Amino acid sequence: MIIREIFEYSDAAKQYKEDILKIEFNARPEYKRVITDILPGMDPSQRIELKKLRLVQPTKQEKDRAWYSGKIKMLNILKVMLEESKLKGDKIQQDLQQNRVFVVHGHDREMKLDVARTLEKLGLEPIILDEKANRGRTIIEKFEDYSDVNFAVFLLSPDDMGCSTSDLPGGVKARARQNVIFEMGYFNNKLGRHHSAALCRGEGIEIPSDYEGVVYIPYDLHGGWKLKLVKELKECGYEIDMNKL
């Protein structure tokens, strides 16, 4: 009832009522004759106003038909608006996802900040988990909530030491933190290995043998890694201005 009351006072409702009056007027020649005989020489706008006064009010059936027609048109308009809103919302979400890059890191703070600031210069949003509020979530819940990205960068810094027991005592090698290895597997499964790159710092760091196909880029202090990372990002559809580096 509320919708109907609103509609009855709308411009669309007025237009439908006028349309009904025009149909009624054209269907009854005696109305035309009355106006022509009594008020010759009137301009069109005056004729229309007189026509409204002379005509009988629409029947209930005509009102209901006009209301039903208007309601259908209004619902169609609302449907289109909702569809357009959804499309715009999806596009915004897609743009946000396209702009985000998840940075998987270990204990090397300098390396983490260097990569994050480089991504920001390129107009991208680095997602660094420990910079995000916890809001009562567990680590895995927080990780899942922020993993809606289009690309991931893995920072393999020599934070741990380890080897197979068969290689002891002299086979110990530097390796990345175990959380980095775990998150590499997660994102390779979610995004595909072509939507990720790994930066390796230091000589002799252990490279996971099960992650063939992942791009490994040497992290050097001269910044040569930046151009190689940009190349991988551009291959994934990112629009990047190299002059921003």
Complete DSSP assignment for 97-149: HHHEEEEE--S-HHHHHHHHHHHHHTT-EEE-GGGS--TT--HHHHHHHT---
Same domain (yes/no): 99, 88:
no
Same domain (yes/no): 175, 190:
yes
Count: domains in the chain? 2
Same domain (yes/no): 57, 176:
no
Same domain (yes/no): 10, 125:
no
pLDDT for position 61: 79
Same domain (yes/no): 121, 231:
yes
**Cβ atoms within 10 Å of 32's Cβ, excluding its own:** 13
Strands 151-156 and 125-127: unpaired
SS3 assignment, position 10: coil
pLDDT for position 139: 85
Residue 156 backbone phi and psi in degrees, to 5: -95, 90
Same domain (yes/no): 36, 150:
no
CB distance 132 to 146 below 8 Å: yes
For residue 11, the 8-state DSSP code is: H
Same domain (yes/no): 103, 73:
no
Q: Which two tokens stand for residue 36?
A: 């022509």
- Which residue, 93, 119, 151, sits at the end of a domain? 93
For residue 193, the 8-state DSSP code is: G
Same domain (yes/no): 158, 47:
no
The type of residue at 195 is H
User: CB under 8 Å to 175, separation ≥6 — which residues?
Assistant: 158, 159, 160, 161, 162, 205, 206
Same domain (yes/no): 129, 240:
yes
Rounded to whole angstroms, the Cα distance separating 23 from 25 reads 5
- Which residue, 36, 68, 93, sits at the end of a domain? 93
Which CATH number do you get for residue 154? 3.40.50.10140
pLDDT tens for the chain, 245 residues: list them.
Answer: 444 544 455 565 666 566 655 555 555 544 444 444 445 566 666 666 666 655 556 677 777 777 777 778 777 787 777 776 666 555 444 554 578 899 999 999 999 999 999 999 998 999 999 888 888 888 888 888 888 898 999 999 998 888 778 777 777 888 888 889 889 889 988 888 888 999 999 887 887 776 665 678 999 888 899 999 999 998 888 888 888 77
pLDDT tens, residue by residue, 204-232: 788 777 666 567 899 988 889 999 999 99
CB distance 24 to 55 below 8 Å: yes
pLDDT for position 101: 93
- Which residue, 93, 111, 134, sits at the end of a domain? 93
Same domain (yes/no): 116, 227:
yes
Which residue range forms the structural domain that includes residue 144? 95-244
Same domain (yes/no): 77, 99:
no
Same domain (yes/no): 115, 235:
yes
